[in-house]
Chain A
Amino acid sequence: MKILVIGYGNPGRSDDGLGPALAERLEALAIPGVTVEADYQLSIEHAAMVAEYDVVVFADADSSCPEPFYLKPVVAKHIVEFTSHSVPPEEILHIAHSCFNASPQGYVLGMRAQVLEPFSEGLSPAAQEVLEAALERLLGFVSERLSVPEPADG
């Protein structure tokens, strides 16, 4: 079982950095079988990356979801977007299937963002709490998938 977690967002917009912050915390745990990636946004090259994994978790800030976070499956689907700034997870999975004949299981980890100020580094106190809760849930999810105990410091 190979798991990929992609945390994306702009840390220069305060809580929009929840995805990269989660990626940083997860990467520090160095869990065998789990690859961690961070980026400003999803783009087409991520399709080639996700095609190499069994399970992919897309971790992103969400300014409108219920607090503190949700973790739910996402399936391949073509979505017409206005720009290519950010290709949504559904489309990444769709491109992975279309171009690389791969169908990893997809999940979205949406974390509630409270503050989205431009040019503001660092998470708000509320987002810090969301990050801790989401990380704990993600570690549980990963452990279930890998069928191994959680790391001692997790």
Chain B
Amino acid sequence: MAAKGTKYTILPLTRVEGHGKVTVHLNDSGVVDRARLHIVEFRGFERFILGRPFWEIPVAVQRLCGICPVSHHLAAAKAMDRIVGGEQLTPTAEKIRRLMHYGQMLQSHALHFFHLSAPDFLFGTEGTAESGFAAPVEQRNIINLAAKYPDLAVQGVMMRKYGQEVVKATAGKKIHGTGAIPGGVNKNLSIQDRDELLKSIDQMMIWSRGAVDIARDYTKEHFDELAPFGSFESNHLSLVRESDGALDLYDGVLRAVDKDRNMILVDVNVQRYLEVLMEEVRPWSYMKFPFLKDLGPEYGWYRVGPLARMNTASFIDTEEACAAHKEFRELQQGANNITMCYHWARMIEVLHSVEKIRDLLNDPDLQGKDLLSSGPRREEAVAIVEAPRGTLLHHYRVDRNDMVTMCNLIVSTTSNNEPMNRAVTKVAKDHLSGRKDIPEKFLNYIEVAIRAYDPCLSCATHALGSMPLSVEVYDAGGALVDRRVRGSGPNET
């Protein structure tokens, strides 16, 4: 506990995937000095993996959590492709996996936008910085969305459902899917599943276009309010397609750009990630802080996820998302560093994913019979996919007895750790400095800033369980002077 200043504690965060705690540290003048997003539990998933046969890993990693099991499933399978020398997948295998991945992207982004974020946009914003996101938490949810904007609520549910159906058709089942196996896939897409999915694809295209319009129009109409909200200049990192720098969510090379969109990491083979990335440990957080090695921890941190991908990709290889990407780029010169633009970027990826699903469903390779590849055995492999929340890295070593001897994961929320701390600090400095109390809407601001990153804190820290829900204020001497509770009902003091 600092000898001077006041510390506010806010926990946990509503409608963020997982649980977190925020502390805000004021100086003696009542001005915010810094804010921190704390992660307080750790369960050591990597150690659990050690000693297991490598072929179990694509299924075993889905135990990390139930939020993005497909991303871990595919990242682990891609790593094990290299272990069995089968990284050059057959056309059918690669396209089945991509279809699974685009289904996951669609369902995850749809849930986040319609269920978690749209209520923030559509309630309580009156066009000023003070009124933005000020609606009570009880109002900002899909039930009220359904009451006021019934079409949008239904679209959110049905787009999420469609994405899950794509996943089920390709992964085999929703729980512990087995579709991707080392060197390929264990089944193709049946004609029946293809035809069933094709029935709704035109509707998904219409709704995806509409979602991009909502996010774009909201951003432009509230630009003065949104642009500074939780925003800061940063680097951005993602995979891009090796051949031409296009957006590629499933495979590619690592690229990073700086705040002005100058390239600072030029299309690096993912097997070399240890040459370009490092992770820093800080005593107050269980989550690590990755950074670009050449720039060091102070300047080398970066953002990942939809916003980063819009900044790193040279273009998008589907027609409508490409046009949307160009319009997105026109908003800002250089890189787009506006935190709230994550939402617009996310909907462009929804449109891109639906376009990809449509194209894949019409590709006869999905009914091919050649499902597996193999080659010279390896003992070490790295694989990266672009998960809905950002770059997801799996690194394994496997011994001659097929047992995993080393595992390292860098999940997207870990990469966004420093950016989320910066976002929280920015919001605190803008909205809490000089106050002696914690206004209700400040809790909303903190949530909205963090939610833009769609963090999965349980995955990032491998945490289980939940924390108590409270806001605590300490004076300079460390005594508790105020406490706020946000629960299932109205706030208590």
Residues of B within 8 A of A91 (CB): 143
Residues of A within 8 A of B9 (CB): none
Residue contact B458 to A85, C-beta cutoff 8 Å: yes
**Given A83-B18, A95-B142, A99-B153: A45 in contact with B115 (beta carbons within 8 A):** no
- Chain A residues numbered 70-98 whose CB sits less than 8 Å from any CB in chain B: 78-85, 91, 94-95, 98
Residue contact B141 to A80, C-beta cutoff 8 Å: yes
Residue contact A81 to B14, C-beta cutoff 8 Å: yes
A104 contacts the other chain (Cβ, under 8 Å)? no
Residues of B within 8 A of A20 (CB): 175
* Interface bracket on B: 35 or more
**Cα distance, A20 to B62, chains bound together (Å):** 15
A10 contacts the other chain (Cβ, under 8 Å)? yes
Residue contact A84 to B116, C-beta cutoff 8 Å: yes
A11 contacts the other chain (Cβ, under 8 Å)? yes
Residue contact B15 to A44, C-beta cutoff 8 Å: no
| Shortest beta-carbon distance from A122 to chain B in Å | 13
Residue contact A83 to B173, C-beta cutoff 8 Å: no
Residues of B within 8 A of A44 (CB): 111, 114-115, 142, 156-157, 160
The 8 A CB mask of A49-73 against B (1 = contact, 0 = none) is 1000000000000000000000000
Residues of A within 8 A of B116 (CB): 84
A38 contacts the other chain (Cβ, under 8 Å)? yes
**Cα distance, A48 to B458, chains bound together (Å):** 27
**Given A82-B14, A119-B63: A98 in contact with B153 (beta carbons within 8 A):** yes
Residue contact B14 to A45, C-beta cutoff 8 Å: no
| Shortest beta-carbon distance from A83 to chain B in Å | 6
Residue contact A98 to B115, C-beta cutoff 8 Å: no
B69 contacts the other chain (Cβ, under 8 Å)? yes
- Chain B residues numbered 445-470 whose CB sits less than 8 Å from any CB in chain A: 458, 464, 466, 469
**Cα distance, A99 to B144, chains bound together (Å):** 11
A35 contacts the other chain (Cβ, under 8 Å)? no
Residues of A within 8 A of B14 (CB): 80-83
Residue contact A49 to B161, C-beta cutoff 8 Å: yes
Residues of A within 8 A of B67 (CB): 85
A141 contacts the other chain (Cβ, under 8 Å)? no
A43 contacts the other chain (Cβ, under 8 Å)? yes
**Given A84-B111, A94-B143, A100-B154: A41 in contact with B66 (beta carbons within 8 A):** yes
Residues of A within 8 A of B19 (CB): 82-83
Residue contact B161 to A83, C-beta cutoff 8 Å: no
**Cα distance, A43 to B110, chains bound together (Å):** 12
* Interface bracket on A: 20 to 34
Query: B157: which of A13, A48, A81, A82 is its contact (CB, 8 Å)?
Result: A48
Chain A, Cβ-Cβ closest to B146: A98
Chain A, Cβ-Cβ closest to B47: A119
- Chain B residues numbered 154-206 whose CB sits less than 8 Å from any CB in chain A: 154, 156-158, 160-161, 164, 173-176
Residue contact A119 to B142, C-beta cutoff 8 Å: no
Residues of B within 8 A of A82 (CB): 12-15, 19, 466, 469
Residue contact B17 to A84, C-beta cutoff 8 Å: yes
Residues of A within 8 A of B147 (CB): 98
Query: A45: which of B146, B153, B161 is its contact (CB, 8 Å)?
Result: B161
Residues of B within 8 A of A79 (CB): 488
| Shortest beta-carbon distance from B300 to chain A in Å | 31
- Chain B residues numbered 11-38 whose CB sits less than 8 Å from any CB in chain A: 12-19
Query: B137: which of A39, A80, A95 is its contact (CB, 8 Å)?
Result: A80
Residue contact B458 to A99, C-beta cutoff 8 Å: no
B45 contacts the other chain (Cβ, under 8 Å)? yes
B224 contacts the other chain (Cβ, under 8 Å)? no
| Shortest beta-carbon distance from A145 to chain B in Å | 25
**Cα distance, A20 to B66, chains bound together (Å):** 13
Residues of A within 8 A of B13 (CB): 82
A47 contacts the other chain (Cβ, under 8 Å)? yes
**Cα distance, A12 to B48, chains bound together (Å):** 12
**Cα distance, A93 to B175, chains bound together (Å):** 22
**Cα distance, A45 to B300, chains bound together (Å):** 39
B283 contacts the other chain (Cβ, under 8 Å)? no
Residues of B within 8 A of A84 (CB): 15, 17, 111, 115-116
**Cα distance, A39 to B177, chains bound together (Å):** 11
B376 contacts the other chain (Cβ, under 8 Å)? no
Residue contact A38 to B174, C-beta cutoff 8 Å: yes
A118 contacts the other chain (Cβ, under 8 Å)? yes
Residues of A within 8 A of B65 (CB): 85
**Given A83-B14, A84-B15, A85-B18: A39 in contact with B157 (beta carbons within 8 A):** no
Residues of B within 8 A of A45 (CB): 107, 157-158, 160-161, 164
**Cα distance, A131 to B301, chains bound together (Å):** 49
Query: B489: which of A80, A83, A99 is its contact (CB, 8 Å)?
Result: A80
**Cα distance, A75 to B487, chains bound together (Å):** 21
| Shortest beta-carbon distance from A141 to chain B in Å | 24
**Given A40-B175, A44-B115: A99 in contact with B150 (beta carbons within 8 A):** yes
Residue contact A43 to B63, C-beta cutoff 8 Å: no
The winner among A38, A79, A91, A95 for most chain B CB atoms within 10 A is A95
Residue contact A81 to B66, C-beta cutoff 8 Å: no
**Cα distance, A82 to B17, chains bound together (Å):** 9
Residue contact B174 to A40, C-beta cutoff 8 Å: yes
B272 contacts the other chain (Cβ, under 8 Å)? no
Q: Which 5 A-B pairs have the closest CB atoms?
A: A40-B66, A12-B63, A45-B161, A98-B146, A45-B160
A–B pairs, 9, beta carbons within 8 Å? A12-B63, A44-B111, A78-B141, A82-B14, A85-B66, A94-B143, A95-B153, A99-B146, A118-B464
Given contacts A12-B62, A95-B157, 9 further A-B contacts (CB under 8 A): A10-B63, A38-B174, A40-B66, A78-B143, A80-B137, A80-B141, A99-B150, A99-B153, A118-B464
Identify the B interface with A (CB < 8 A): 12-19, 43, 45, 48, 60, 62-63, 65-67, 69, 107, 111, 114-116, 137-138, 141-143, 146-147, 150, 153-154, 156-158, 160-161, 164, 173-176, 458, 464, 466, 469, 487-489
